[in-house]
Chain A
Amino acid sequence: MLCDDCGEREATIHEVVIRNGQRSEKHLCEHCAQSSGLGSKSQTGGTTSGLVQGLVLGGPARPKPRQPICPVCDMTYARFRETELLGCPGCYKAFEPQLTPLLGRTHEGGTHHVGKVPKRALALSRQEGSLQTESVLGDAETRSARIAHLRHLLDQALRAEHYEQAARLRDQIGSLEAGDPDAS
């Protein structure tokens, strides 16, 4: 589980707050927990009653820690983790470092798109030059990451003796290396 605040590190401190009979949970990494006064150092140094007070009443007001937020729609990463829905297309850029491992786990290691490209957008970008084309097809790094993932899938398919799948992947790698953007 990733930290609710930074969305980057593994959560190791788990806070349960019961206020007016309402239970809420917070899962933080060591770093964010310490900066918000909930880290293991502050806990070991405190009394049991102080710790219980901190857990049950939520403790004194603390400055809100910095957390990833989408500049387009104000969606926070913590809220996305709660609802599992992003707020707008801009969230993908805003949360890219946090989303990458999550996407890998969801999509069998896939973190880069392979397949269809919007035809009109590509045609327009071609009229505007190679820099614009990259905005649709991706830069060299994206293109090589795409091919690296396909090679990994090809190895997997060969090891599992899924030869039809391996043939499809080999064709696709060939198409991408030849510069065919769609390769679907």
Chain B
Amino acid sequence: MDAGSPSPSPDDAHRQEAPDTARGLVRVTPEWLRGEGESSDVVLSSRVRLARNIASFPFSHEADRAARAEILSRVHAAVGAVGLPSGGGRVGLTAPLWIDLVDATKLERQLLVERLAVSRQLAKGRYGRDGGGTDEPRGVALSLPGERAGVLVNEEDHLRIQSVRSGLALNEALKEADAIDDAMESKLDFAYSPRFGYLTACPTNVGTGARFGVMLHLPGLRITGEVEKVRRAAADISLAVRGFHGEGSETLGDLYQLSNQTTLGKSESVLLGELADDILPNVIGYERRARQQLLENRRPFLEDLVYRALGVLLHARLLTAEEAMQQLSLLRLGCDLAIIGDSAQRPGLRRAVHELFLTCQPAHLQQSIGEVLGQDKRREVRATMVRDCLSPILGGG
């Protein structure tokens, strides 16, 4: 994507020529960053992931290279035969973008991690503490446009089927993941036992093999120091609150992932209901109340935070990805609370913030300008890109 050009609408993005390589994805905004849908002021996206394994093989970390190659080949053939649901208003199944991660460059692999299309573990090809490496057979199939659906191959489990939706839409995401699962099962024998359900490498995923997750934007609770409240409420019903890249990762841009930990003994619909009906309305309520209280009781303080963020984004000459994310988070908050810009500017500004969440990440930055850069140069290019993107919308600079 050219950061200096006016931001395309999601429909424009969908009309763009479909990328045929991992690096081509840099031009388009993924579904999870469209910033639309139910409760999208707080819920950035909803994701369902199903862990599956092929019955006749050892789990990925115990399989040798020949077995991993065979698994990759079978899943590639199956996904090629059944296709993946298409997005962007198109109906039916389409041939997915298939990315063989052995052939991908380091930058392309990092790009996929930044887009949350693959996990860090799959990008590195790591199995257990010491096993594996980047030349281990593994890959990913992504639906186009928008990368709403994906099948990750030879991660901790042979297949991780995932479906993502903008905003709060766990039911839709489950429906899609379920359909892909059925289609893949028509071609592959999945490891399953009536007692334990879908058998997975780690017993923490066994049973449904299903993880329901939402990416939440919680700047209000972070500013009022109440994120802990969410963590406690979630832990009470066995949900986990994690950082931007999941387990063990840091929080970036006030974005948190909330997901179920239990997978055995409760069906998909019960697990989904616990998250969508029992916990999320509370979390969304907490965040909205925190924002409202800031507006009513500490408006000058809140405006100062938002305008300082805008000042940094419009005028900084060097920006780290972490700082850019943090300031963009405040800008998003400023848009949603109508503190910044006018009603004509805000939709474009919000879209730009979502795009910049991604394009300011190291691999996206380097891929979009087609050059590998050192850290210092990246900070300079990032600051320029952010200025060039926001100035035309807000008339600053």
Interface residues, chain A, with chain B CB atoms under 8 Å away: 73, 75, 83-89, 92-93, 96, 99, 102-103, 106-121, 134-139, 142, 149, 153, 162, 164-165, 168-169, 172, 183-184
Say yes or no: B185 contacts A114, CB within 8 Å: no
19 of the cross-chain contacts (CB-CB < 8 Å) are A85-B62, A86-B59, A89-B199, A92-B206, A107-B207, A108-B238, A110-B262, A110-B265, A113-B194, A113-B195, A113-B206, A116-B178, A118-B192, A121-B185, A139-B194, A168-B269, A168-B270, A169-B270, A184-B269
CB distance B262 to A107 under 8 Å?
yes
CB-contact partner of A85 in B61, B186, B265, B269, under 8 A: B61
Chain A residues with CB under 8 Å of B59's CB are 85-89
User: Which residues of B are in contact with A by a Cβ distance under 8 Å?
Assistant: 53, 55, 57-59, 61-62, 128-129, 156, 178, 181-182, 185-186, 189-199, 201-204, 206-208, 210, 238, 261-270, 273-274, 277-278
Q: Which of chain A's residues have a CB closer than 8 A to the CB of B197?
A: 113-116
B194 → chain A closest CB, angstroms: 3
B57 / chain A contacts, CB cutoff of 8 Å: 88
If A112-B195, A115-B269 are given as contacts, then 5 extra A-B residue pairs at C-beta distance below 8 Å, sorted by A number, are A103-B203, A113-B193, A114-B207, A121-B190, A172-B270
Cross-interface CB contact of B265 among A114, A116, A121, A184, cutoff 8 Å:
A114
A107-B265 contact in complex given A115-B197, A121-B192, A168-B270, C-beta closer than 8 Å: yes
CA distance A111 to B206 in the complex (A): 10
Chain A residues with CB under 8 A of B189: 121
Q: Which residues of A contact B61 (CB under 8 A)?
A: 83, 85
Contact A108 B265 (CB under 8 A): yes
Q: Which of B190, B268, B274 contacts A115 (CB 8 A)?
A: B268
| Complex: chain B residue closest to A134, CB-CB | B194
Distance (Å) between the CB of B247 and the closest chain A CB? Answer: 13
Chain B interface SS verdict (over half): loop
Residue of B nearest to A83 (CB): B128
Contact A83 B273 (CB under 8 A): no
With both chains docked as a complex, state the minimum distance between the C-beta of B121 and any C-beta of chain A, in angstroms: 12
Q: Which residues of chain A come closer than 8 Å to B204, judged between CB atoms?
A: 106
Q: Contact check, B268 vs A113: say whether CB atoms are below 8 A apart.
A: no
**A169, chain B: closest CB distance, angstroms:** 6
CB distance from A29 to the nearest CB of B (A): 21
Question: Which of A88, A93, A184 sits near B193, CB closer than 8 Å?
Answer: A93
A120 and B189 CA atoms in complex are apart in Å by: 9
The answer to whether A87 and B58 have CB atoms under 8 Å apart is: yes
Residue picked from A84, A137, A139, most chain B C-beta under 10 Å? A84
Q: Are A112 and B278 in contact, CB atoms less than 8 angstroms apart?
A: no
Q: In the bound complex, what is the Cα–Cα distance between A149 and B59 (angstroms)?
A: 29
Does A164 contact B267, Cβ atoms closer than 8 Å? Answer: no
Taking A85-B61, A164-B278, A168-B270 as contacts, is the C-beta distance between A113 and B186 under 8 angstroms?
no
Chain A neighbourhood of B55, CB < 8 A: 89
Residues of A within 8 A of B190 (CB): 118, 121
**Contact at A114–B195, with CB atoms within 8 Å?**
no
Asked, given contacts A88-B57, A116-B268, whether A103 binds B185 with beta carbons under 8 Å apart, the answer is no
* Bound Cα distance from A137 to B145, whole angstroms: 38
Chain A residue contacts of B206, Cβ below 8 A: 92, 103, 113
Q: Evaluate contact between B264 and A85: CB separation under 8 angstroms.
A: no
Partner of A102, one of B203, B238, B262, B268: B203
Flag if B185 contacts A165 (CB, 8 Å). no
Partner of A165, one of B181, B261, B262, B270: B270
- In the assembled complex, the CB of B185 is this many whole angstroms from the nearest CB of chain A, namely 5
Q: How far is the CB of B256 from chain A (nearest CB, A)?
A: 22
Contacts of B210 in A (CB 8 A): 115
Q: Are B53 and A115 in contact (CB under 8 A)?
A: no
Interface centre among B61, B194, B196, B274 (most CB of A within 10 A): B194
Given contacts A136-B192, A142-B194, contact A110 B266 (CB under 8 A): yes
Contacts of A135 in B (CB 8 A): 194
Does A165 contact B128, Cβ atoms closer than 8 Å?
no
